[in-house]
Amino acid sequence: MKRSLALCLLLLTFLWGNAVYAVETTILVLPDKAFYRPGETVTLHVSASTGARVEATIRYLDETITTLSAPVAEGAARLEWQPEPLAPRGYGVDIRLLDADGLELATTSTAFDVLERWIQAPRYGFLSEFKPGRDNADETMSWAAQYHVNGLQFYDWQYRHETLLPPSEPYVDVLGRELSLETVKRLIDAAHERNIAAMPYTAIYGASMAFYREHPDWALFSSGERPFEFGENFLIIMDPTPGSPWATHLLGEFARVLDETAFDGIHIDQYGAPMRGRNSAGEMVSLEQVFPAFINEAAALVEAKRGDDSVVLFNAVRNWPVAAVAPSDVDAVYIEVWDPYRHFMDLPRLVSRAQELGGGKPVIIAAYIHPDRPHNVRLANALIFASGGYHLELGEPGAMLADPYFPQFGMMAPDVQATTRAYYDFLVRYENVLALGTTGAPDRAAALAIEGVMTNTRRSRDRVAVIARRGEGRETFSLINLMGIGGELWDEPLPNGPTPLRDLPVQLRVDAPVERLWYASPDDRDPQA
């Protein structure tokens, strides 16, 4: 018997123009946590420059779930609601600020989600400042939570690459920075208060010159007795083959970190080269084979220490060796993007391929874009989010990653902060049709056509990119405007954003009855569907 399927078709568009709005009344709403576990109460803190009352409408996709109300006292209001224990699920919150007569003074919106584990939707961020006396841990996590950042990589927190925990307090790292383990622990505790996971940076094979001199036969060699180096007189590459002395030592360091701190897992880095070498016995070592084997041993260790909440991440630098590590026991596929993946359209292709290789695991993209390139930031996020991926870029208050050495971050201008927050709100609000429970549907992307506009091409400019995803009873078509941008490369500054497009005739071929169609955009003042 032939059955028809009712579909809900979504057009999630990123076709922005430039708009300026006069603002006389200010209102800000912040969730108290980066995400909520099933059974937890959602608390929304509202601050307003005036007004007597706030009303909040909570929505799941295009469905109104409930309406909340609270008085404004001394410029603040508090809203509480306990969602049904359904996870994973993202919600939108639309706020109206009213005066004593019920007249609308201002509107704003935010989002929140309910997840069983943060890694289901890993909005991964970073911290890189651990100096003694840092006293803004709570403010840092409040800032991260307003962008829904639910996991933080503690970058270069360690004493040495081979000795992660310091021998004294405070301590000086290999680059001469004075750091404090007490600061690290305060940040971890503050993160946990807001349901933000804390992940310690480690490197799978980096060791100091001094450590190498003590253990010269633990290294990975390029030829003869010459070991691989990273940087000039900086680090020596060790042999991470499971069962090797270095691998055993490093796993012991992981265990010690998890025993003596409240870190939630292990983040493992590599440097993209070498790809192979020889051990001290002259035997060939293929890192493409070694990496997943080491990851699996690390994952077993972390699970033994942290149980079901354990997380292990591994950096596939330059997308290598993603085919080997994506199916391993990593909890998400993490890709640091470098040449040759420099075109804007390389970003969704990387996400889609990693999702396939990882069997549907989340994908985190580390693509470093300075916030003084706002058009690049906006387009990269649109392409990554529309593909169901996540972008490592936020964490330190007001900052955005701009360099592979995380302490060299850039500071966001107020307009970049506002736009970025709108995109993260949108990502969370519509995560059930952008990412969670969906798969890529490249065959369906060709079913959408825009009159007079090129869509079916691999180019990264002068087109509207169509990214299609399929979920249960739904199809999502994201339209990203690349018309008129001054270049195709995400890592080169764009002189201007896309040319605004309006009143576009859109044709969509369907092969089943359509129940309803709705539209939403992070570039609209009102993001509701």
Domain that holds residue 71: 27-114
Rounded mean pLDDT, 304-317: 97
- Judge if 272 and 363 occupy the same domain: yes
pLDDT in tens, 414-441: 999 999 999 999 999 999 999 999 999 9
Domain check: are 278 and 179 in the same one?
yes
Q: Could you give phi then psi for residue 66, rounded to 5 degrees? A: -165, 165
% of the chain surpassing 70 pLDDT: 95
184 domain-assigned: yes
- Mean pLDDT over 121-147 rounds to 98
Whether residue 78 contacts residue 45, with contact meaning beta carbons closer than 8 Å, is answered with yes
What is residue 472's predicted lDDT score, i.e. its pLDDT?
87
Looking at the structure of the chain, the number of domains it has is 3
Nearest to 167 by CA among 265, 268, 256: 256
Structural domain ending residue among the three candidates 434, 453, 470: 434
**236 lies in some domain:** no
Quick one: average pLDDT of 461-485? 94
Asked if 81 and 142 sit in the same domain, the reply is no
Same domain, 445 and 425: no
Same domain, 149 and 44: no
Q: Are residues 338 and 458 in the same domain?
A: no
The tens digit of pLDDT for each residue in 43-77 reads 999 999 999 999 999 999 999 999 999 999 999 99
Structure tokens at 269: 């880095």
User: Cis omega (within 30 of 0) on the bond before 242?
Assistant: no
Question: Are residues 107 and 129 located together in one domain of the fold?
Answer: no
Question: Residue 511: its pLDDT value, please?
Answer: 85
Domain termination residue (choose one: 58, 89, 114): 114
**Residue-wise burial string across 79-112, b where 16 or more C-beta atoms lie within 10 A, e elsewhere:** bebebeeebbbbbbbbbbbbeeeeeebbebbbbb
Average pLDDT over the chain, rounded to an integer: 94
User: CATH code at 263?
Assistant: 3.20.20.80
In this structure, of 22-31, 230-239, 296-305, the range with the lowest mean pLDDT score is 22-31
Residue 411 has phi, psi (to 5 degrees) of -100, 135
Kindly list the distances between the CA atom of residue 393 and the CA atoms of 111, 152, 334, 495, in Å, as whole numbers in the listed order. 19, 10, 13, 21
Q: Is residue 237 part of a domain?
A: no
pLDDT computed for residue 525 by the predictor: 74
The confidence score (pLDDT) of residue 12 equals 53
Phi then psi for residue 126, to 5 deg, are: -145, 155
159 C-beta neighbours (distance < 10 Å), count: 17
Residues 30, 467: Cα–Cα separation, whole Å:
30
Instruction: Say what percent of the chain tops pLDDT 90.
Output: 89
Helices (H), 69-111: none
Tell me the C-alpha distance between 278 and 282, whole Å. Answer: 5
pLDDT band, residue 253 (cuts 50/70/90): very high
Same domain, 418 and 306: yes
Residues 68 and 175 in one domain: no
- Of 67, 90, 114, the residue at which a domain comes to its end is 114
The per-residue pLDDT for range 10-20, each reduced to its tens digit, is: 555 555 443 33
Give pLDDT, residue 5. Answer: 41
Confidence check: pLDDT of 21 > 50: no
Give a yes or no: residue 410 inside a domain: yes
Whether residue 528 is contained in a domain is answered as: no
pLDDT value at 22 more than 90: no
Q: Residue 208: inside a domain, yes or no?
A: no
Q: Is residue 216 included in any domain, yes or no?
A: no
Higher pLDDT, 246 or 459: 246
CATH number at residue 87: 2.60.40.10
Domain co-membership, 373 together with 453: no
Among 356, 312, 359, 308, residue whose Cα is nearest residue 334 = 312
Does one domain contain both 103 and 123?
no
Residue 529 is predicted with a pLDDT of 64
Pair (398, 278) in one structural domain: yes
User: Beta strands 53-60 and 63-71: pairing type?
Assistant: antiparallel
Q: Is residue 234 part of a domain?
A: no
